[in-house]
């Protein structure tokens, strides 16, 4: 699956493949997507809680509805490149790089 937001396939300095795994594209995309989804939901929940607490006892529900909708649409788009890089860091913590991760491209 090709995304409009991409990062390099390999590190320019060491040659590490950024998309790792048996089915590199699918595994890496799924992990980055899941991380992006979790971060978006947490940011939305915190923003909603802060907005309701600061405007209590009369929260502006219509503005919260539209603002929350905009946040839920824009946050995943803005955060997606960072989620791919963060997913690579998490993946490297649990599965350290092996010599196969540095193989030249086919």
28 contact partners, CB below 8 Å, separation of at least 6: 18, 19, 20, 21, 84, 87, 88, 91
Q: 9 lies in a domain?
A: no
Domain total of the chain: 1
| pLDDT at 21 > cutoff 90 | no
What pTM value is reported for the model?
0.77
pLDDT at 98: 87
Q: Quick one: angle between helices 61-94 and 24-55, nearest 10?
A: 140
Q: 84 lies in a domain?
A: yes
Q: 15 lies in a domain?
A: no
- Kindly report which listed range (7-16, 59-68, 69-78) carries the lowest average pLDDT score: 7-16
CB atoms within 10 A of CB 44: 15
Q: 81 lies in a domain?
A: yes
Q: 17 lies in a domain?
A: no
Q: Show the domain range for 86.
A: 40-95
| pLDDT at 79 > cutoff 90 | yes
Q: 60 lies in a domain?
A: yes
Q: 59 lies in a domain?
A: yes
């Amino acid at each position: 699956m090709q995304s409009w937001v991409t990062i390099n396939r390999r590190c320019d300095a060491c040659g590490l493949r950024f998309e790792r795994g048996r089915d590199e594209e699918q595994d890496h995309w799924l992990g980055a997507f899941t991380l992006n989804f979790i971060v978006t939901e947490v940011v939305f929940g915190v923003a909603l809680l802060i907005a309701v607490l600061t405007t209590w006892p009369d929260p502006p529900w219509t503005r919260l509805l539209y603002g929350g909708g905009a946040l839920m649409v824009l946050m995943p788009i803005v955060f997606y490149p960072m989620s791919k890089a963060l997913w690579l860091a998490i993946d490297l913590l649990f599965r350290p790089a092996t010599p196969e991760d540095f193989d030249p491209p086919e």
